[in-house]
Chains A and B, each alone.
Chain A
Amino acid sequence: MESVGTVKAAVIQLECKLSRSAGNMKRAERYILQAIEEGAQLVCLPEAFLTSGNILEVSEVAVTIPGECTARLGELARQGGVHLVAGLLEKDGETHYSTSVLIGPTGELLGKYRRVHCFELEKQYLATGDTFEVFETPVGRIGMLQGYDVNFPEATRELYRRGADIIVCSALIPEQYAYVTRQLLPARVIESQSYLLFVSGLGSNTFAGFSYMGGSEVLADPLFLEQEKFDFVDGDEHLLVMERDEGLRTVELDVRRLRKYRKERSLLGDLEPRTYWRETRAAAVARLGS
């Protein structure tokens, strides 16, 4: 494998409109082409970008993977020679998942991540995934997450242990959780010593009357950024912060330098896996009521 250097990543903060798949796709395509034009090598879309978070109608709106949508994304990826990460509501027979796909520059589907963590209401509509895989690519080792996963350090820890350089968290999170999500992101990126691309959708859920938070971010460990060239936006952990408008932004990620930093500061040797998860879920849950 040739060594990885600097990667130009594009964050597409898309407004994901309910029941408007064609329009969402059209705008997504336009941004992807724009990202390609700007020289991006890794292009990222939010969670459920095509359908928005329409879990109530998931059986009607979800798509198969591979399918028409991933084929079109593959075509675009091939056209621009880029890697592409996008969140889709996935239909697999009678089962549905919130899934992120990773498509390579030849247009082929390199991998997918079915969201592992679903909250109670979602579980009535969605099944949960069962693995955190990291994909070795010429732009670095890519791990995928989705919005709700940021509540679980276990998710980023798994990707960290599997050596992820870039974690793409495609998200679609209700605005009421915007604050806590923004608090969680720095912790997730520091503990995973990676680049974290929080690619967050906008739009409103007309079924339930809330809006999605947008506010996409690209983050890295502040100690790493301090060591690096002076390129963070706030002196802390951010390389990029987006507001509430739809749009595309690109950012340079120096994966080679990050790997060097991670090697120097690795937490792996200090992990004590045998001490974790010794309490059963049942016992922990039982204690909630007492």
Chain B
Amino acid sequence: MRVLLISTNKIRVPRPALPIGMAYISAALKAAGHEVHVLDLLWESRELKAVCEKLKQTPYDLVGVAVRNLDNLTFIDPIFFGPMTHKIVQAVRKYTSAKVVIGGSGFSVEPRSFFEYSRPDYGIAGEGEDAIVQLASYLETGLGNLGQIAGLCYMRDGKLALNPPSGTVDVTRLEPDRSIYDPRYFEETVAAASDLTRDYQPAIETLQTKRGCKMYCSYCIIKKTEGRGNRFKEPRQVVDEIKRAMRDNPQVREFEIVDATFNYPLDYAMEVCTEMIRAELKVPWYCQLTPNAITPEFVDLLERAGCIRVDLGTDAFTDEALEQLMKGFDMARVLEIDQLFTKSKLEHTHCVFLGGPGESPKALRESIDFTEKYLRPAQIYANLGIRILSKTKLQRQAIKAGIISENHNMFIPTFYVEPDTLADPETLDYVRNAYLRHKNWYLWWGIKGQRLVDRSVEVVKRVRDMHEEYNYVMKSLPRLEVWGEADEPSSETKLPVLKASGDFSRTVAQARSAAGNCT
């Protein structure tokens, strides 16, 4: 079959991420003998036009749309990517007779809503390497059974069938098809505005050492996208893959391990580092770590293996939020780890959410004082609020906190910001001032221009508009019943009421409702 894969990711911060998911899918399809073409919309300023032109050039049998994120996960500047995907599906319908399949982590987190909204022929939730090949084979030969393709979403007897994902792809046999990467990813560029530690960003390659995660963070959906438990590559395989990637693309200077959490479990991460040292890899690299599983020995290994910077999934700077997020460590631990890295040659960045569950105004202010006083990271990368996704503990907390209703549609950007904190303009100012004061603290590129409370009011309108747009599209689409499931009312999206922002309490109320976009 001739397959076109379209990568729809538009997020460029902290740096444009290589579309590794699409590369895995490409590798799987090519291994099964299919012809693969790609279109990477990150590099297109007019995405739909690019799609149209690509579709007109060559006839395709199957078009795969890779969706990395539902939205940009940023409460203070939410951008929803659903509409673009929906229009791409329409473009494929208009210009070709190809079947269209949507996949990727962005699809996997909300497969039902996503399918209902964008109406592809198929969707694949969870890992797609096996499913896409089985689907292509089914489309080509008519053989096989759609009901047995793990994670496949499709129309069956007029209803939407949602096969459960299996999370069993054999990672030892996976290697992304790096030939599909646009050469522009490998141009040395000025570092992104959000990258405060360096001026230039050299060309990098990325890789995964494993799939799945065994942690229990309350907001996370990685079990939906990669599956629970861990499946590992042999450390030797990891090193070989890096070597091959660097040999095939001489522009590459550094690499990044893009496991959500490289050091969990710690034993395996240490084995990988040891193998890098043994193989004398000598290539600078970076990774994301949980403070949970860091020892002086591991930091030493990282250093010797060539690691130059780590992003720490610290997630919060208060004991209250750390506990609620089920991170499994406290601030004492954060301080300990911070000091450990400060002493090392490695640069470390704390990635945190502000206003997470339990983070009261008082706690948030104190955390800022604490951070200023005791922590010495190369950079802090912060986000106000946390994206709430379906079937997470965070969703239940948000319902309990009155941020969202029981049947709130989680498909559209929805965030948890601790209501008391969001309703406290002075605390928000306090946060803003701190982030403006520290050159290596990053919250949002636009905070110089406005107060966070004003921004929140603005966000209410934007999110309200997203709901309106969603309803506008859904108006012409009948709701889909789920195959093999007793009828349950599908989630409806209610419009938050927008009142004229006159007095202050009302402004605060709006800011508050912006967090969940409807109360």
Direct contact of A and B (CB under 8 A): yes
Complex: how many Å from CA A226 to CA B49? 9
Q: Which of A195-225 contact B (CB under 8 A)?
A: 222
Task: Report how far A122 CA is from B193 CA in the complex, Å.
Answer: 57
Tell me the smallest distance from the CB of B94 to a CB of chain A, in Å: 6
Q: Is the CB of B48 within 8 A of A230?
A: yes
Residues in chain A near residue B48, CB distance under 8 A: 226, 230, 235
Tell me the complex Cα distance, A231–B185, Å: 32
Tell whether, in the assembled complex, residue B90 and residue A230 are in contact, meaning their CB atoms are under 8 Å apart.
Answer: yes
A243 within 8 A of B: no
Task: Answer yes or no: B499 CB below 8 A from chain A CBs.
Answer: no
Is A229 within 8 A of B49, CB to CB? no
B83 neighbours in A (Cβ, 8 Å): 227
B241 CB to closest chain A CB, in angstroms? 39
Chain B contacts with A in 35-55, Cβ cutoff 8 A: 46, 48-49, 52-53
Contact of B53 among A222, A226, A230, A235 (CB under 8 A): A235
The answer, yes or no, to whether A236 is at the interface (CB within 8 Å) is yes
Contacts of B52 in A (CB 8 A): 235
Pairwise interchain contact B87-A235, C-beta atoms closer than 8 A = no
In the bound complex, residues from chain A placing their C-beta under 8 Å from that of B46 are 222, 226, 235
Query: In the complex, what distance in Å separates the CA atom of A226 from the CA atom of B91?
Result: 11
In whole angstroms, what is the CA distance A235 to B54 when docked?
Answer: 12
Contact partners of A236 in chain B: CB under 8 A:
49
Q: A95–B511 Cα gap in the complex (Å)?
A: 62
Residues on B with C-beta less than 8 A from A230 are 48, 87, 90-91, 94
Q: Give the docked Cα–Cα distance between A222 and B47 (Å).
A: 12
On chain A, the residues within 8 Å of B49 by CB distance are: 226, 235-236
Q: How far is the CB of A59 from chain B (nearest CB, A)?
A: 50
B20-71, CB < 8 A from A: 46, 48-49, 52-53
Contacts of A226 in B (CB 8 A): 46, 48-49, 87
- B91 neighbours in A (Cβ, 8 Å): 230
**A222–B46 alpha-carbon span in the complex (Å):** 10
CA of A236 to CA of B83 in the docked complex: distance in angstroms?
Answer: 18
The bracket for how many chain A residues form the interface is under 10
A224 to chain B, nearest CB (A): 12
CA distance A230 to B91 in the complex (A): 7
In the complex the two chains form, what is the Cα distance from A153 to B94 in whole Å?
34
Residues of A within 8 A of B90 (CB): 229-230
Distance to closest chain A CB from B47 (angstroms): 8
When distances are taken between beta carbons in the complex, the residues of chain B under 8 Å from A235 are 46, 48-49, 52-53
Complex CA–CA separation, A229 to B86 (angstroms):
9
Complex: how many Å from CA A236 to CA B48?
A: 9
A21 to B153, CA, bound (A): 62
Cβ distance A79 to chain B, nearest Cβ, rounded Å: 32
B75-87 near A? 1/0 per residue, CB < 8 Å: 0000000010001
Interface membership of chain B positions 309-350, coded 1 if the CB is closer than 8 angstroms to chain A and 0 otherwise: 000000000000000000000000000000000000000000
What's the minimum C-beta distance from B53 to chain A, rounded to whole angstroms?
7
A154-180: which have CB < 8 Å to B? none
A134 CB to closest chain B CB (Å) equals 26
Q: Which of A223-249 contact B (CB under 8 A)?
A: 226-227, 229-230, 235-236
**CB of A219 to closest CB in B, whole Å:** 15
Interface centre among A227, A229, A230 (most CB of B within 10 A): A230
What residue in chain A is nearest B51 (Cβ atoms)? A235
B53 / chain A contacts, CB cutoff of 8 Å: 235
Complex Cα gap A235–B88 (Å): 12
Distance of A221 from chain B, by nearest CB (Å) = 13
Give CA–CA (A235, B94) in the complex, Å.
12
Shortest distance from the beta carbon of B175 to any chain A beta carbon, whole Å: 35
Least CB distance, A225 to chain B, in whole angstroms: 9
Give the CA-CA distance A229 to B83 in the complex, in Å: 10
| CB of A238 to closest CB in B, whole Å | 12
Q: Which of A138-164 contact B (CB under 8 A)?
A: none
A148 to B59, CA, bound (A): 42
What residues of chain A lie closer than 8 Å to B87, measured between beta carbons? 226, 229-230
| Cα–Cα, bound, A236→B49 (Å) | 7
The minimal Cβ–Cβ distance linking B83 to chain A, given in whole angstroms, is: 8
Interface centre among B48, B83, B91 (most CB of A within 10 A): B48
Q: Whose C-beta in chain A lies nearest to the C-beta of B83?
A: A227
Among residues of A, the one whose C-beta sits closest to the C-beta of B84 is A226
CB of B91, distance to nearest CB on chain A (Å): 6
Residue-by-residue, is B481-515 near A (CB-CB < 8 Å gives 1, otherwise 0)?
00000000000000000000000000000000000
Q: How far is the CB of B495 from the nearest CB of chain A, in Å?
A: 15
In the complex, per-residue mask of B132-148: 1 if CB is within 8 Å of any chain A CB, else 0: 00000000000000000
Q: Roughly how many angstroms separate A183 CA and B48 CA in the complex, as a whole number?
A: 22
Q: How far is the CA of A227 from the CA of B94 in the complex (A)?
A: 16
Find the residue from B52, B53, B94 having the highest chain A CB count within 10 A. B52
Give complex CA distance A227, B52 in Å: 15
Q: Which of A227, A235, A236 has the most CB of B within 10 A?
A: A235
CB distance from A235 to the nearest CB of B (A): 4
A222 to B52, CA, bound (A): 14
Kindly state the separation between the CA atoms of A235 and B47 in the bound complex, as whole angstroms: 10
Distance from A35 Cβ to chain B, minimum over Cβ atoms (Å)? 25
Q: Which 10 A-B pairs have the closest CB atoms?
A: A235-B49, A230-B90, A235-B52, A230-B87, A230-B91, A226-B48, A230-B94, A235-B48, A236-B49, A230-B48
Known pairs A226-B87, A230-B90; list 15 more (Cβ under 8 Å). A222-B46, A226-B46, A226-B48, A227-B83, A229-B87, A229-B90, A230-B48, A230-B87, A230-B91, A230-B94, A235-B48, A235-B49, A235-B52, A235-B53, A236-B49
Query: Can you offer 12 A-B residue contacts whose CB atoms are under 8 A?
Result: A222-B46, A226-B48, A226-B49, A226-B87, A229-B87, A230-B87, A230-B90, A230-B94, A235-B46, A235-B48, A235-B52, A236-B49
- Seen from chain B, the residues whose Cβ lies within 8 Å of a Cβ on chain A are 46, 48-49, 52-53, 83, 87, 90-91, 94
